[in-house]
Amino acid sequence: MHTPHCNAENDIPTLREFMRAFPLCALVTETQQGMVASHIPVVLHEDAAGLGVLRGHVARANAQWKDHLPQSEALAIFTGPQHYISASWYPDKQTHGKEVPTWNYVAVHAYGVLRVIEEPAWLLEHLRALTDQNEVVARVPWKLADAPPEFIANLSRGIVGLELAITRIEGKWKASQNRNDRDAAAVIGGLESLETPAASTMSALIRARRPRPL
């Protein structure tokens, strides 16, 4: 991923926190027919290496699990807050017009070799972890045990587990860090004028990424 120095995020705890906050990733693998991607929710587990292990699953009918080249590197792409940045917000647009729009966003790329898992016990434990991770905000959380065991076991036969031990990871926080304080403040003002949740999230991110308060 092309990442200018000002946009790079290398803090591993920050990257792990982001993957947990936005667990739906695009899992990209190489096959004999070319690149293939599936959008799957994953659970990040700790490991001795320190980068973590991603665990997810796909439908057994999804050929990606059997078509991927076993020793090739796989890529999990996580994305989060993003927003269009209008050139009209920059003060110099009114003086010389030499401004163009851009797009601010946050992304994390996690790389590793993919492992395919079909063990029923592993799949059940993974489904419990995935459910618990995402039901934590519910007032009455649903648990895997709420469904009949034979029903879950039957459904589990229709999925295949995937595990990616992360060997390298990249983070990019593109939040107007390349602009001076005047321009960044103008972008924040433009975003806040939109009064949308996505714009508010991006304006807060720009503030958080400035070396000093605006």
Is residue 61 over pLDDT 90?
yes
Q: What is the pTM (predicted TM-score) of this model?
A: 0.94
Q: Is the pLDDT of residue 163 over 90?
A: yes
pLDDT at position 11 = 97
Note the pLDDT of residue 16: 97
CATH number, span 5-82+105-178: 2.30.110.10
Domain ranges (residues) in the chain: 5-82+105-178
**Alpha carbon of 96 to those of 88, 91, 100, 102, 103: distances in Å?**
12, 10, 12, 18, 21
Give the mean pLDDT of 131-137.
Answer: 95
Reported as a pLDDT band with limits 50, 70 and 90, residue 89 is: very high
Whether 1 has a pLDDT exceeding 90, the answer reads yes
The structure tokens 């994305």 sit at 79
